[in-house]
Amino acid sequence: MLRSIMLFCVLATPLTTLHAQTNDATVDMLKKLSDAPGPPGAEEPVRAIMYPVMKQNSSSIKFDGLGSVIAQQGSAGPRIMVDAHMDELGGMVRRVTPNGFLTMQMLGGWLDQALVDQRWIILGSKGPVHGVTGIRDIHVVPADERTRVYPRDSLMLDIGAKNAAEAAAMGIEPGDPVVPDAPFMVLNGTDNYLGKAWDDRIGCAVLLAAMQRTKGTNVGNQIFYVATTQEEIGLRGARTAAQLVKPDIGIAIEGGIVGDTPGSRPEETQAKLGGGPGIFLYDSSALANRKLVAQVKKVAAERKIPLQYDLVQGYGDDSAEMQVSNGGVPTINIVVPVRYTHAHNGIVNRKDFDQTVDFVVALLQSLTQSTVNDLRDFTPSN
């Protein structure tokens, strides 16, 4: 399986060169990260992008037992863990039917209505295989079924095979990873970028850019930049990585959720694309540390960086695992706004990305020993 996933990087080149390289290194990095396949447990192609940059900009680098990458800057002082997860929503082949169709086990929080009539790539042992989750023809669907959502268990991947033997000849077998087929593009000459997996490849890109800027600028702390695995199926890589890092402060960098699209309700989310980086004051998995929130607001105000605040139901992120590690850790979840998360095609804004990098760098530079001591001091004031 590992060989087949690495082979994807070579065999899938035509897919990732549909849009030529630009003169903008940031766009090229975002394109590479977005296009790379990496469902939970099969993050190898993403790790192959992350590892060289993380190694070049750290004093030491290692892995946890689930494949998360842990890169360290600095050797003394408080331990700051900066986290972004490499995996994306995807699936895996469950069964090959006698007539050559595939059933799929979904990985992560998919909506059933996002799965129908979509293109997918299966990472088979002989390289990538293209497929589509078909849809019944309107000419034969009864009128009372035309507005129904197709349940995921009724969907099958069509790879063009006539039977199970043809599917096997393509290198397909149960357990093969499956990812959305949704190539990156700059959206119609704007500063908005369309692609898959912004949750959390946009966070991975922020992590790489931030660590390039903090290299050699130590303020007396130790920064552990961590690219984690298997977030989408239970924050698993963050748990094992935090066990190794033992952080004093935890910072998750994620793709946020916006409420600026038609049909959005104000109480769902308040963030807007192009409105700057955000922080989660609440989500279903973690509560941000109030003193750390105050520090975040202070840094943003000093640097004149706009900051969006959000409280979101039905959302979990790696800060939850950092928060309950090492006896309890002040944490915050910093997000880059994303339209249409947990689907094939999402949109991010370049200004949001740039401002998030500026913000993360400034926050890390503010976390001196005395500041961290204060953040971790719960002594009641007189």
Binding-site positions for Zn(2+) read 85, 199, 232, 254, 342
CA angle 17, 40, 132 (to 5 degrees): 55
Tokens of 42: 């099969």
Pairing type for strands 222-228 and 79-85 reads parallel
Q: Which of 88, 231, 302, 321 is catalytic?
A: 231
How far is Cα 230 from Cα 253, in angstroms, rounded to an integer? 15
Which helix (H) or strand (E) element contains residue 157? strand 157-158
Catalytic annotation present for 166: no
Residues 238, 242, 245, 251, CA torsion sign: positive
The residue among 264, 149, 258, 247 whose CA lies nearest residue 199 is 258
- CA 69-70-71 angle, to 5 degrees, is 115
> Can you read off the two tokens belonging to residue 31?
């394109």
- Cα-based distances in Å from 217 to 44, 83, 299, 301: 30, 19, 17, 22
Q: Which residues are catalytic?
A: 231
